[in-house]
Amino acid sequence: MKDYPWEIYSLKELIHATNNFHDDNKIGEGGFGSVYWGRTSKGDEIAVKRLKAMTGKAEMEFAVEVEILGRVRHKNLLGLRGFYAGGDERLIVYDFMPNHSLITHLHGHLAADVLLNWPRRVGIAIGSAEGLVYLHHEANPHIIHRDIKASNVLLDSDFQAKVADFGFAKLIPEGVSHLTTRVKGTLGYLAPEYAMWGKVSESCDVYSYGILLLEIISARKPIEKLPGGIKRDIVQWASPFVEKDNYDEIVDPRLKGKFNREQVKNMVEIAMRCTAKPENRPSMLMVVDWLKGGIRRKKEVTMLVKDYMVAEEDEDYNDVDEDKNEDEDTDYERFQSRARRNWDGLKMR
Ligand SMILES: Nc1ncnc2c1ncn2[C@@H]1O[C@H](COP(=O)(O)OP(=O)(O)O)[C@@H](O)[C@H]1O
Ligand SMILES: [Mg+2]
């Protein structure tokens, strides 16, 4: 094994591999660049992320992603193969994931094919949770991903989940329980306390994971627009079914009833726990434990869910740091008002 599991590529090789970043090779579009399919001179399939514009922000994302992905190795995290940085080019090279991202299968052009049968969904739920366990509990320093969502979970040839896109990730020094930062991430997946106060800790990823879990089960989007412009999040949508013990209604109808009812119930209950108030959320270690079907523990989860479904008293957050740096992030206001509504929803749950 080499000291570094990644290599520094030459621009020439990556231009060659991607047919000069040809449009036909484009497989993804993200916040700060495009992703291209390519084949190396050795014949390996790769994905190359290319920075669109060399802004300070984009360059920071590039640096963070390379820095963090360079440190991690896990079966459920997208592997970094290397990078190129020179002149105005910033390129990141990954293993190519032939089955695209989860969003393609849940809401995108492959949704109609229903390649994600129930066992695959369970596998993806467990795999992405295990990737997060590695980041939160095994990596040193610990890593908070901050942008867990369906488009950032990629699928390999066996439909195994690979958590990707570390451009927003944060390293957490030992002994620090939470940091206060500018809000990054995606509406619909943001933990309310993070969106409102920038309080970031592992439990923000747990919240996003809970949303993702409901999305995997139901194939509904994290937020939907109701007639009249009112927005409803996926937890608000699922809650009435949970209360009535009507879990079948939550499952993606495209599965045509082919699913394991016990597993659905277990997974929905875990998702509800993950999206509860921060102090009631489980760690990802517990989530994996529960997902792997501690039948014994399921009773415990049910009890906790019932617990917080009873209306709760208001919560105080007196320990919010005052030094929040809220300069140029334009989305911040939007995040906040969205989060406030979310938060009110949480207090009711
Ligand atoms: N290794 C890969 N294999 C296949 N598709 C990929 C790969 N990496 C990224 N993609 C595609 O490109 C999209 C954007 O990549 P991502 O890393 O999330 O970048 P961004 O930071 O711009 O969101 C993904 O949602 C996915 O569809
Ligand atoms: Mg992304």
Reply yes or no on whether 147 is catalytic. yes
- The number of domains in the chain is 2
Average pLDDT on 276-302 reads 81
Task: Answer yes or no: do 123 and 232 share one domain.
Answer: yes
Q: Is residue 160 part of a domain?
A: yes
Q: Which ligand is nearest to the CA of 100?
A: 1
Cβ–ligand 1 contact at 164 (below 6 Å): yes
- Please determine, for residue 147, whether its predicted confidence score (pLDDT) is greater than 70: yes
Pairwise CA distance, residues 76 & 325, whole Å: 33
Please tell me the predicted confidence (pLDDT) of residue 234.
98
Q: Determine whether the annotation assigns residue 49 to a binding site.
A: yes
- Please determine, for residue 91, whether its predicted confidence score (pLDDT) is greater than 90: yes
Determine contact, residues 67/77, Cβ cutoff 8 Å.
no
Per residue in 173-216, pLDDT (tens digit) is 888 888 888 888 888 999 999 999 998 999 999 999 999 999 99
Domain boundary among 64, 96, 128: 96
Q: State the distance from the centre of ligand 1 to the C-alpha of 145, rounded, in angstroms.
A: 15
Cβ–ligand 1 contact at 108 (below 6 Å): no
Place 335 in a pLDDT band, splitting at 50, 70 and 90.
low
Q: Is residue 1 part of a domain?
A: no
Q: Is residue 2 part of a domain?
A: no
Please tell me the predicted confidence (pLDDT) of residue 179.
82
Per residue in 150-180, pLDDT (tens digit) is 999 999 999 999 999 998 888 888 888 888 8
Site to probe by mutation for ligand 1, drawn from 35, 78, 93, 162 as the one with most ligand atoms within 8 Å of Cβ, is: 35
Task: Answer yes or no: do 150 and 261 share one domain.
Answer: yes
pTM (two decimals): 0.85
Sign of CA dihedral 178, 164, 2, 62: negative
Residue nearest to atom 11 of ligand 1 (CA): 28
Task: Answer yes or no: do 238 and 303 share one domain.
Answer: yes
Q: Is residue 330 part of a domain?
A: no
Of 64, 118, 63, 108, the C-alpha closest to 90 is: 63
Q: Which ligand is nearest to the CA of 108?
A: 1
Which domain, by its residues, includes 70?
Answer: 7-96
Place 305 in a pLDDT band, splitting at 50, 70 and 90.
low
Give the position, in ligand 1's atom list, of the atom nearest the Cα of 162: 1
* Residue 118 CB neighbours (<10 A): 17
Q: Is residue 323 part of a domain?
A: no
More confident call, 38 vs 293: 38
Task: Answer yes or no: do 199 and 221 share one domain.
Answer: yes
Per residue in 278-288, pLDDT (tens digit) is 999 999 999 99
Residue 277's domain is classified under what CATH number? 1.10.510.10
Task: Answer yes or no: do 61 and 149 share one domain.
Answer: no
Cβ–ligand 1 contact at 190 (below 6 Å): no
Per residue in 244-266, pLDDT (tens digit) is 999 999 999 999 999 999 999 99
Task: Answer yes or no: do 89 and 107 share one domain.
Answer: no
Place 322 in a pLDDT band, splitting at 50, 70 and 90.
very low
